[in-house]
Amino acid sequence: MDPLCLMVTDPINTEAVMRRITGDGDGAVAVFAGRVRNHHQQRPVDHLEYHAYPEMAVEELRRIADELGQRHETSALALVHRTGELAVGEISVLVVAAAAHRRPALACCAEAIEIIKRRLPVWKKEFFTDGGEPQWIYGPDEDCAGGGASGGSSTDA
């Protein structure tokens, strides 16, 4: 089936996305959900604002999905990113990869989130509960180890 590529403003419903794209032949479904974390570099995060170049973002999600479809033996793929104001604990990005077997599903899911973070034209701005100035995050955090001045952010994605 065609990949499901969405930029949304409403909360992401993981179960609904899984139901929508999976079939009886899928013995494996790998899911990655990036959530808003309540802290960043010892500062308490209140919420995030996600801004996007929406027209390009949808096209970029489709390009990413097409590339992944050529590299992985998956039967279905969903790439969903939310924009707007998100509270701590809310899902900002969802990847669902389905396949007959686990390895392609897991590999596709892992690669998808890495590519999304490098290429999707989305930017987040962090707002803190300590009254400090909000700050833009520049560039993807490389992983949970955080990074330099622009690295790390208050999501696990």
Residues that bind another protein (CB under 8 A): 34, 50-53, 55-56, 59-60, 81, 92-93, 113, 116-125, 136-141, 150, 153, 155, 157
Q: Which one, of 153, 124, 150, 154, lies nearest residue 139 by Cα?
A: 150
Which of 51, 101 has the CB closer to another protein? 51
CB 113 within 8 A of CB 95: yes
CB 33 within 8 A of CB 116: no
> CB 122 → another protein: shortest distance, Å?
3
Which of 86, 99 has the CB closer to another protein? 86
Which of 59, 67 has the CB closer to another protein? 59
Structure tokens at 110: 């892992």
> CB 69 → another protein: shortest distance, Å?
19
Which of 20, 136 has the CB closer to another protein? 136
> CB 117 → another protein: shortest distance, Å?
4
> CB 20 → another protein: shortest distance, Å?
21
Which of 63, 69 has the CB closer to another protein? 63
> CB 25 → another protein: shortest distance, Å?
29
Query: What is the CB neighbour count within 10 angstroms for residue 76?
Result: 22
Q: Could you tell me which residues come within 8 angstroms of residue 103 by beta carbon, excluding any fewer than 6 positions away?
A: none
